[in-house]
Chains A and B, each alone.
Chain A
């Protein structure tokens, strides 16, 4: 086991956003991970920030109005094929 200097709460919190974004180097990520494993309040902070991010990410998915789905199907149905398509098959999709 390598002996590594431990990081402070201040350092961990400064790196927290990048840690949660998955953008830290292996070394830094390890340091933050270790700090969170051993520091209750920073762990708590990380949990909170994670939950908040999940709430934001959940906005990315919305129910699709039927009308809009129809619009997309129609749009795709009208696309012109590029020249030299593969030979036609019996299952054309329509």
Chain B
């Protein structure tokens, strides 16, 4: 594609249309607003320069988001922050705690022997604020935050993530599982702090871990 006057109009239209998602994604990657805006601006400038390599206007948006993510990753490298492309060996057992098990909010809400008042799943979602989600994601260790953003905000395929991060697909799978487990644990803590009604143990329960007065 050879950028000319009409290409600039088209480019601007497409970019402005994607701006809410570019900025939303950038905020979760960069964690603060100023850096997020700079990241988006940088990606837009790169996209313009690279427009000749785009063969099909229809794939512009996906291509633009790839540039956004790659810009973030290479900015990390140049700032000598441990880049998300590095594997932590066992995928974060150092960073996320040594637990091998997946943390599951659903399981917590459905433990046997506990009595909840009302519909516990709805209680959970009613209390789940957008800012809780934002904070929980922002608090994730870098390599887990990046992969959750790529999978769940940008909705990239495992293969696309593997290519962008230069890791095997198996690692994408396990790292993503670990990241989501950490995220669920963080959201659970937020829910408890927000006063998610704690269940009482049923009278015949053998453990009283969740009993509160």
Alpha-carbon gap, A52 to B148, bound state (A):
13
Query: Is B125 in contact with A51, judged by CB distance below 8 angstroms?
Result: yes
Considering only CB atoms and an 8 Å cut-off, how many residues of chain B contact the other chain? 52
Among residues of B, the one whose C-beta sits closest to the C-beta of A68 is: B37
By a CB distance below 8 angstroms, the chain A residues around B148 are: 56
Say which one of A4-12, A15-23, A29-37 lies at the interface with B. Answer: A15-23
Is B12's beta carbon under 8 Å from chain A? yes
Distance in Å: Cβ of B83 to nearest Cβ of chain A: 22
Query: Is A72 in contact with B19, judged by CB distance below 8 angstroms?
Result: yes
Query: Is B23 in contact with A62, judged by CB distance below 8 angstroms?
Result: yes
Considering only CB atoms and an 8 Å cut-off, how many residues of chain A contact the other chain? 39
Query: Is B158 in contact with A81, judged by CB distance below 8 angstroms?
Result: no
Is B130's beta carbon under 8 Å from chain A? yes
Is B64's beta carbon under 8 Å from chain A? no
Alpha-carbon gap, A42 to B3, bound state (A):
52
Q: Is the interface of A mostly helix, strand, loop or mixed?
A: helix
By a CB distance below 8 angstroms, the chain A residues around B199 are: none
Is B5's beta carbon under 8 Å from chain A? yes
Alpha-carbon gap, A48 to B154, bound state (A):
21
Q: Scan A33-75; emit 1 where CB is below 8 A from any B CB, else 0.
A: 0000000000011001101110111111111100011011101
Q: Scan B111-134; emit 1 where CB is below 8 A from any A CB, else 0.
A: 000000000010001001010011
Q: Contacting A17 at CB < 8 Å: which of B3, B15, B106, B176? A: B176
A interface residues (Cβ-Cβ under 8 A, vs B): 17-18, 21-23, 44-45, 48-49, 51-53, 55-64, 68-69, 71-73, 75-76, 79, 81-82, 84-86, 88-89, 92-93
